[in-house]
Structures are given as C-alpha cells and as structure tokens.
Homo-oligomer: A and B are copies of this chain.
Amino acid sequence: MTRRHISGFSNPAVKALRSLRDKKHRRREGLFLAEGLRLLTDARRCGHLPRTLVLSDRRDPHPLLIELESAVDAAGGDIIETTPEILAKITGKDNPQAVAGAFAELDTALEAVDRTTGKLWLVAQDLRDPGNLGTMLRTADAVGAGGLILIDDCADPFSAEAVRASMGAIFTVRLAQAGWAEFLDWLRRGEGQLVAASLRDAQPYRNAPYAAPCFILVGNESQGLPAAYENACDLRVTLPMRGRADSLNAAVAGAVLAYEVLASVEAGGN
C-alpha cells in the first residue's frame, strides 16, 4: 500500500482516476469511481473496498472516514490525499465530496446469478438513461429484489451518474448484463415467470397472477419493449393511464410493478 499527497493536476495518478469517467477507460482498467463517505461506507459494509481511496486534504475528521482509511490500508490499497480542486477534476463535480474511491468493477456475468436468492428480479431492456438505471438499482434494493438484469444496449451501470443515482445500491444489488437471447435461454433453464411491463393492451397489473421468482421486464424509455420480447413473456401487464400521455418514466413503471409483485409474492402469491 502507498500513501501520498498529490498537488499537481498533471500527476499520472490524477489523470488515471479522471479517465475513469470514460466508459472505455473503465473497461480497460476494470475500475469505476464512487464518491461520498456514505456511499463508500455502504460499500465497505457490503465487503467492497476501493483499490484507491482519494481524500480531500481539507476534509473534516469523521470516525467512519478513519475506519475506511484503516480498512483500505489493511487491504493493501492506495491512499491519495489531494486538494479539493483536484478532487473536483477527478469526479467532474464542482462541489466534490471529501472522499472518492476507485473500485474494481463487479462481475456482471448472468451465468453467475443464482435465481433462488430473490422472489422478484428487475430486468431492463435498452435502458439508456444512467439516472434511470441507478434509480432502478435503488428500487431493486428497496423491494429486496434478487437483482437487476440489464438486457441489450443499456447505459453503463458503472458510470458516475448511474452510481450516484443508485445511492449505494450499486454495491448491494446483484447486477447482470446479457443479450436478449442469452437471457431468455438462461431464464428457461430454470423456474421463473417473465412479466412484461406493456404499453399495449394487456392485463391490468393489479392482482395479476404473479409467481416467484418473478422477472419484471421494463423496456426502453422511448420505444417500450419490442413486440417479440413481449410475446416471449409469460404475462403481460399494464398500468392504468388516466392522463393525456400514454407513458410513464421507465424507472417509475418498474417500481410500481415491483411493489405490486412484492405484495403478491409476500402474500404467498407463489
């Protein structure tokens, strides 16, 4: 482990950390950034320590921060102290938190997922907005879902915006990524009810015959689900639309369904 103070913007370590704001660099390094004492503490409690911990040299003392430093130290990680200005440059935020960390990217292989760990799962297809993705992670945590499965061309869950919107759920929620064909093949090799959040004519979502493990599939923000994907589902449900528009934010639709399924499976709907 190394501990050092950096005061130069052009320091290679600063450049390397800053580059993690780009997906290409995240993939190459296998690292992503997360900020804030609360988030890093949540991560630690879930067994995730940053490889590199970056601290503002004008931070206020805090017992949780001291615990975090000790843990990173003991695990052989790097600790960098730097100015708030450099921290702002690394995180891309004008008012950065006093602490940030570079974490190893999490394993998102679908094959490694154990479906028996949850009665419900969220599945997002082509979800493009990183804020929506982070919000769905947070919802998955709240409803005690087994995890979030990202299908096809979703936003990168390790982007700063998705990590921030997840409010720590990036570390607590099982995450997987797969193409549609791979996902469907995996799903059909075991138990699981696939439920489409449909924009088309479908069964009312309320008191529909949900069965655990229930996989709730939500489509792209502007297109919804492809018809072929909906047709492959075991159940198609829709939310009432009482207004002039015929749509909901994708993360909102997923959450309303997830809470309905939670109530159903907890009442023994399985």
A251 within 8 A of B: yes
A192 within 8 A of B: no
Whether the Cβ atoms of B142 and A241 lie closer than 8 Å is: yes
Choice from B169, B241, B266 contacting A243 with Cβ under 8 Å: B169
Whether the Cβ atoms of A172 and B245 lie closer than 8 Å is: yes
A249 within 8 A of B: yes
Question: Which of A167, A243, A247, A248 neighbours the largest number of chain B CB atoms within 10 Å of its CB?
Answer: A243
Interface size class of A (residues with CB under 8 A): 35 or more
Taking CB atoms, residues of chain B closer than 8 Å to A167 are 245, 247
Whether the Cβ atoms of A240 and B262 lie closer than 8 Å is: yes
5 contacts between A and B (CB under 8 A): A135-B249, A138-B245, A167-B245, A172-B244, A252-B252
Chain A residues close to B by CB (< 8 Å): 42, 45-46, 131, 135, 138-144, 165, 167-169, 172-173, 206, 239-245, 247-249, 251-252, 255-256, 259, 262-263, 266
